[in-house]
């Protein structure tokens, strides 16, 4: 069965207007896309409030006549308009305006304005109210006015007109068979009309909390589309063929088990058995191996590779960073090369001659296992016989990259087995929706001998105490990480807003964060005689490797780094992790960083330094870190704080976000959706396809990667 090409984001055609291009960037291409682009909030323009009845602090709509307007220079140019509604006057203040607006809002013009009324230096005023020129007989709105998520270059008025037109054109007929939905729910057309134009007496609480039956209908349909797409992908994969890789008695798998310097945990043995059964089948394995930091996923990957190699097939392991890839490479070489397995190394930093030699070894079949970064999927890399693809930290790769690795088996009839690994355990409710097409294995216990990590939360005013603790640790022969969020003062945090998810698209101000180069200098001055290394993503690969080698060999006692050490770094002698500006990191990222210590028998501490004031979500993250070291519990709390879209890295992977449903609040809906999805695919496959296309369009292909 031919594999579908990965869908690509729609490129705005050059002949489109600026607002049309902005809509394309938001994914608003089809009429149904616009119809499903729901309001963030609503404004009540159905009532005009006389100024004498309005109170300061209220958001009101006022209608009156312009008495005069003028441009004033008060630090910056401002347009001031004086409006009289017959019961009082209000000044309208505009800091950003066009010259044409001053002409349009001339004395005698009647305007209807809406904004927050406040008491200014020269009397009552509104700053940047919404303005509409009217006549005395211009009717009021009959429904609440929607305010939509938007982006740069896409005015609210333009978007409202586009959505209104799309609602009339969009095919909103019912595609789900009768009896699929509760009888008391409105139709899709009725639901969308209500949510785009709710009547003035509609419950704002039911609208904002998404509890109205119209919202329930949309959330159900969205969850159903996700579930159908995943299950359909799983069913399609059952018709694909993969090489059968039997587990041979006395083979490489058993020999590797015999030379490992440790015993497998019960959880590791269990997941190895699940993977071995998958590899024996003629259908491609599509399994996610998840386990907490330090749970031993690499040895499971090595044992899985041993099965494939013994059967005469090659394996590829791809990691997102060179540091993580090198950690895997060193472990796998140490375990497998003494058993006669040739392990190749492929990264972008290899010299041309070395790269050509490695690529030749892969193409000839001399290399049984290939470890590397994105270089593994470059066009010039051809495998003689790829049977198993391993992807670590799979959520950090794009969909196209994952598909490209799967296509490295040059056979029209076969594709390799796929084992994806993640150190970010996925909560069950999320897996039920996003991973319905995957088999999931979990390593839910840590190897024996690990010492629990104590997590302490300090304000940055206690920085000197932390440095003193570093001095003590180094004196005991231990090593220390100090992690900073930025490389230098010119770098600022990510400003990109997700308009579809409803976040403010305005740029945030630059953050006053300590940078890694300055911190390295400060610690070097505070700790004379201590070897302090510097590691960040902008260093040349050779220099990064050298710094890590010196830290791993204890030639350096302190490593000041960015999050390039987030995964894969394994230095058992490191006993203290300091994370500066911890409030700026995500919860799963904090947990990953904390996992760099506590990897030996030494008692370890993680110190989270924060800057005041803390946001509510910042407080929640730091509290969670202090209360638990359980990665599954961390993931559950992370889902609560961030929501499913950000948790899954969906904007990076291309998977469609759950824009309406909430997996914490809507678990009852999800249980019903699962039963309906199975029945639809079995009894009404055409209706299922129409439903997927309506909700996901080409995005459905992303979910199959």
User: In sequence order, what DSSP letters do the residues of 241-300 get, joined into one string?
Assistant: B-------TTSHHHHHHHH-SSPPPHHHHHHHHHHHHHHHSSSPPEEEEEE-TTS-HHHH
Stretch 459-485: mean pLDDT, rounded? 93
Measure Cα distances from 421 to 155, 293, 360, 701 in Å. 43, 12, 28, 21
Stretch 510-514: mean pLDDT, rounded? 43
What distance in Å separates the CA atoms of residue 79 and residue 661, rounded to the nearest whole number? 43
For the record, the structure tokens of 397 come out as: 């790769």
Q: Is 115 helix (H, G, I), strand (E, B) or coil?
A: strand
If one counts every other C-beta atom within 10 angstroms of the C-beta of residue 476, the result is 8
Structure confidence at residue 411 as a pLDDT band (50, 70, 90): low
State the pLDDT at residue 406.
65
Structure confidence at residue 98 as a pLDDT band (50, 70, 90): confident
Spell 225-248 as b/e; 16+ CB within 10 A means b: bbbbbbbbbbeebeeeebbebebe
Stretch 199-225: mean pLDDT, rounded? 88
Q: CA neighbours within 13 Å on the CB side: how many for 17?
A: 7
State the pLDDT at residue 504.
34
Per-residue pLDDT reduced to its tens digit, 553-610:
999 999 999 887 765 577 889 999 999 999 988 887 898 889 888 877 788 999 999 9
Contacts made by residues 593-596, CB under 8 angstroms, sequence distance 24+: 593/481, 593/483, 593/563, 593/565, 593/566, 594/293, 594/453, 594/455, 594/625, 594/629, 595/292, 595/293, 595/294, 595/423, 596/481, 596/565, 596/569, 596/571
What distance in Å separates the CA atoms of residue 510 and residue 512, rounded to the nearest whole number? 7
Q: Residues 112, 116, 119, CA angle at the centre, nearest 5°?
A: 110
The answer on pLDDT for 664 being more than 60 is yes
The answer on pLDDT for 67 being more than 90 is yes
Domains of the chain in start order, with CATH, are 47-140 (2.40.50.140), 252-443 (3.40.50.300), 453-628 (3.40.50.300)
The answer on pLDDT for 19 being more than 70 is yes
Burial of 516 (0-12, 13-18, 19+ CB in 10 A): buried
The answer on pLDDT for 653 being more than 70 is no
For 183, left (φ over 0), alpha (ψ -120 to 50), or beta? alpha
State the pLDDT at residue 431.
64
For 185, left (φ over 0), alpha (ψ -120 to 50), or beta? beta
State the pLDDT at residue 650.
45
For the record, the structure tokens of 127 come out as: 């700053």
State the pLDDT at residue 300.
96
Give the β-pairing of 41-43 and 145-147: antiparallel
For the record, the structure tokens of 301 come out as: 């990957």
The contacts of residue 611 (CB under 8 Å, 6+ apart) are: 459, 460, 581, 583
The answer on pLDDT for 151 being more than 90 is no
Q: Residues 622, 393, 634, CA angle at the centre, nearest 5°?
A: 25
Count, residues in the chain: 705
Nearest to 414 by CA among 391, 377, 386: 386
State the pLDDT at residue 290.
87
Stretch 103-121: mean pLDDT, rounded? 93
What distance in Å separates the CA atoms of residue 487 and residue 515, rounded to the nearest whole number? 5
Burial of 587 (0-12, 13-18, 19+ CB in 10 A): buried
State the pLDDT at residue 394.
58
State the pLDDT at residue 291.
84
State the pLDDT at residue 344.
95
Asked whether 85 and 62 are in contact (CB, 8 A), the reply is: yes
Give the β-pairing of 286-291 and 417-422: parallel
Q: Which residue in this structure is represented by tokens 């018709």?
A: 239
Structure confidence at residue 34 as a pLDDT band (50, 70, 90): very high
The contacts of residue 541 (CB under 8 Å, 6+ apart) are: 322, 347, 348, 349
Report which DSSP code applies to 494. Answer: -
What distance in Å separates the CA atoms of residue 371 and residue 318, rounded to the nearest whole number? 6
| Residue 420 CA from chain centroid, whole number | 17
State the pLDDT at residue 403.
63
Average model confidence (pLDDT) for the chain?
84
State the pLDDT at residue 359.
93
Nearest to 602 by CA among 567, 562, 640, 572: 572
What distance in Å separates the CA atoms of residue 587 and residue 145, rounded to the nearest whole number? 37
Structure confidence at residue 396 as a pLDDT band (50, 70, 90): low
Report which DSSP code applies to 486. Answer: B
The answer on pLDDT for 266 being more than 50 is yes
pTM of the model: 0.66
Measure Cα distances from 478 to 519, 565, 573, 601, 602 in Å. 20, 18, 6, 12, 9
State the pLDDT at residue 565.
75
The partner residues of 69 in beta bridges, in order of sequence, read 81
What distance in Å separates the CA atoms of residue 167 and residue 29, rounded to the nearest whole number? 13
State the pLDDT at residue 86.
94
Sign of the dihedral defined by the CA atoms of residues 127, 130, 131, 135, in that order? negative
If one counts every other C-beta atom within 10 angstroms of the C-beta of residue 177, the result is 14
Higher pLDDT: 190 or 430? It is 190
Higher pLDDT: 363 or 410? It is 363
What distance in Å separates the CA atoms of residue 27 and residue 500, rounded to the nearest whole number? 9
Structure confidence at residue 472 as a pLDDT band (50, 70, 90): very high
For the record, the structure tokens of 576 come out as: 């203290």
Stretch 289-308: mean pLDDT, rounded? 90
């Amino acid at each position: 069965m031919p594999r579908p090409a990965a869908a690509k984001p729609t490129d705005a055609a050059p002949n489109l207007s600026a607002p049309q291009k902005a809509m394309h960037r938001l994914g608003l291409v089809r009429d149904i896309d616009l119809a499903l682009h729901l309001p963030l909030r609503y404004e009540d323009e159905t009532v005009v409030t006389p100024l004498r009845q309005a109170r300061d602090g209220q958001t009101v709509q006022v209608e009156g006549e312009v008495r005069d307007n003028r441009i004033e220079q008060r630090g910056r140019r401002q347009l001031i308009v004086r409006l009289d509604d017959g019961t009082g006057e209000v000044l309208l203040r505009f800091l950003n305006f066009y010259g044409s607006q001053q002409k349009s809002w001339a004395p005698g013009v009647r305007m209807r304005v809406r904004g927050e009324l406040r008491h200014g230096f020269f009397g009552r005023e509104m700053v940047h109210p919404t303005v509409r020129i009217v006549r005395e007989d211009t009717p009021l709105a009959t429904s609440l006015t929607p305010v939509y998520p938007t982006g740069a270059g896409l005015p609210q008025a333009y978007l409202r007109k586009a959505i209104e037109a799309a609602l009339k054109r969009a095919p909103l007929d019912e595609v789900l068979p009768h009896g699929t939905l509760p009888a008391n729910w409105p139709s899709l057309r009725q639901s969308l009309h209500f949510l785009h134009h709710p009547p003035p007496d509609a419950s704002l609480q039911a609208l904002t909390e998404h509890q109205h039956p119209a919202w329930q209908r949309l959330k159900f349909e969205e969850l159903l589309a996700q579930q159908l797409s995943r299950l359909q992908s799983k069913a399609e994969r059952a018709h694909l063929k993969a090489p059968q890789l039997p587990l041979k008695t006395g083979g490489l798998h058993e020999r590797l088990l015999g030379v490992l310097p440790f015993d497998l945990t019960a959880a590791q043995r269990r997941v190895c058995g699940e993977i071995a059964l998958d590899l024996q089948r003629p259908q491609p394995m599509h399994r996610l191996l998840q386990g907490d930091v330090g749970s031993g996923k690499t040895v499971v990957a090595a044992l899985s590779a041993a099965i494939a190699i013994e059967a005469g097939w090659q394996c590829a392991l791809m990691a997102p960073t060179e540091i993580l890839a090198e950690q895997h490479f060193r472990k796998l070489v140490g375990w497998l090369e003494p058993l006669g397995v040739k392990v190749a190394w492929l990264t972008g930093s290899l010299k041309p001659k070395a790269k050509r030699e490695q690529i030749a070894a892969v193409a000839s079949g001399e290399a049984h296992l290939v470890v590397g970064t994105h270089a593994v999927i470059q066009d010039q890399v051809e495998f003689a016989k790829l049977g198993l693809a391993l992807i670590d930290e799979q959520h950090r790769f794009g969909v196209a990259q994952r598909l490209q690795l799967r296509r490295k088996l040059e056979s029209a009839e076969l594709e390799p087995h796929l084992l994806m690994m993640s150190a970010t355990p996925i909560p069950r409710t999320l897996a039920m929706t996003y991973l319905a097409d995957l088999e999931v294995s979990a390593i839910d216990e840590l190897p024996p001998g690990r010492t629990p990590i104590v997590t302490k939360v300090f304000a940055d005013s206690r920085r000197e105490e932390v440095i003193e603790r570093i001095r003590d640790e180094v004196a005991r022969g231990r090593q220390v990480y100090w992690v900073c969020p930025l490389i230098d003062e010119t770098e600022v945090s990510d400003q990109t807003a997700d308009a579809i998810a409803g976040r403010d698209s305005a740029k945030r101000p630059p953050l006053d964060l300590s940078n890694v180069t300055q911190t390295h200098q400060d610690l070097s001055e505070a700790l004379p005689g201590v070897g302090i290394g510097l590691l960040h993503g902008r260093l040349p690969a050779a220099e990064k490797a050298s710094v890590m080698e010196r830290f791993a060999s204890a030639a350096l006692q302190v490593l000041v780094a960015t999050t390039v050490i987030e995964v894969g770094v394994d230095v058992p002698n490191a006993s203290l992790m300091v994370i500066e500006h911890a409030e700026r990191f995500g919860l799963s990222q904090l947990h990953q960083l904390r996992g760099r210590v506590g990897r030996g028998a030494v008692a370890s501490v993680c110190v989270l330094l924060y800057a005041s004031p803390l946001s509510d979500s910042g407080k929640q993250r730091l509290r969670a870190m202090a209360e638990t070291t359980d990665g599954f519990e961390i993931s559950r709390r992370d889902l609560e704080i961030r929501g499913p879209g950000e948790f899954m890295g969906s904007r990076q992977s291309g998977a469609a976000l759950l824009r309406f449903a909430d997996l914490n609040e809507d678990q009852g809906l999800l249980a019903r959706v699962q039963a309906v999805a199975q029945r639809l695919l079995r009894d009404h496959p055409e209706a299922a396809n129409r439903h997927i296309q309506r909700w996901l369009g080409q995005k459905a292909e992303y979910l199959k990667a």
